[in-house]
Amino acid sequence: MDEVLELIATIEGWDLSRFHLLVTSRQLPNIEETLTDLVTSKVCLQDSSMNENITIYITEKLEHDKVLAKW
């Protein structure tokens, strides 16, 4: 995990104006501490209503998307 956090910090240092990076993780103190200075926007998905919405979305995709239906 430390290697991934170091890589993210390295990428941030590249100063690429058109480069955007989406990072997802569990809410662990060392991850949040490392990413605090790098984050421009944060969305917390650890919410029971959000989990329910995600479940509904994934279920719908798996049932109706021909490519994903095999899963």
pLDDT of residue 22: 82
Residues with Cβ < 8 Å from 1, sequence gap 6 or more?
30, 31
Write the pLDDT tens digit of every residue in 19-61.
888 888 888 888 888 888 878 887 777 767 777 888 899 889 8
pLDDT, tens digit (0-9, with 9 covering 90-100), for 2-20: 788 788 888 888 888 888 8
Q: What is the pTM of this model?
A: 0.44
Q: What's CA 7's distance to the chain center, in Å?
A: 15
- What secondary structure does DSSP assign to the chain, as a single string? -HHHHHHHHHHHTT--TT----------HHHHHHHTTT-S-------HHHHHHHHHHHHHHHHH-TTTTT-
